[in-house]
Amino acid sequence: MEIVDIVPPELKNNVIVTSVDALFKWGRANSIWPLSSGLACCSIEMMCAAASRFDLSRFGYEVFRSCPRQSDLLIVAGTLTWKMTPPLIRLYEEMPNPKYVIAMGNCNIGGGPFADSYSVVTGLDQIMPVDVYLPGCPPRPEALIDAMLKLKKRIQHPEAAQGSEERMNASREKLADMTRRAE
């Protein structure tokens, strides 16, 4: 939820929140702390992105927290199987808002080479809202850095990412439906 949305509609003409909102957006966009979780080979590239040749830390994104309570970004790096979805959804739900998801690698976009498999989730957006899709098998560390900069742009200028809101809302409903069924 944006700060603007908290303002009641009858006060919208009288209250200006835009500068504070912009400040917080700037803060969020420049300090994205990823959760250090990896599923398969993409996570090796994720580790490389933080190491010396590629150096994710230049942008301030190198703080890989091992606890979901303190992280902002879930990089789903690698092939996601149906067996792994409940722990992953749990990790996602343990993260505090505002939280973001990057679907890293072909497997998380459409199943990749395992599209016909019975056990692989063909598309991460079936189970959780995705902010940035990052193709590649696996994507190079530069590509991950580019994805995180795209996410930064998305946080600072949500209006630039047109149409993605509906997709995200659809996935959110699906996620809520799945958790209801699990309970």
Note the residues at the interface with other proteins (CB under 8 A).
3, 23-24, 26-28, 30-31, 36, 51-52, 55, 57-60, 62-63, 65-67, 69-70, 72, 96-98
Instruction: Give whichever of 22 and 182 is closer to other proteins, judged by the CB atom.
Output: 22
For residue 41, which of 129, 136, 120 has the smallest C-alpha distance?
A: 136
Cβ 78 to other proteins shortest distance, Å: 19
Cβ 9 to other proteins shortest distance, Å: 22
For residue 79, which of 104, 100, 52 has the smallest C-alpha distance?
A: 104
Instruction: Give whichever of 93 and 115 is closer to other proteins, judged by the CB atom.
Output: 93
| Pairing, β 73-77 against β 100-104 | parallel
Instruction: Give whichever of 3 and 143 is closer to other proteins, judged by the CB atom.
Output: 3
CB 168 within 8 A of CB 129: yes
Instruction: Give whichever of 65 and 174 is closer to other proteins, judged by the CB atom.
Output: 65
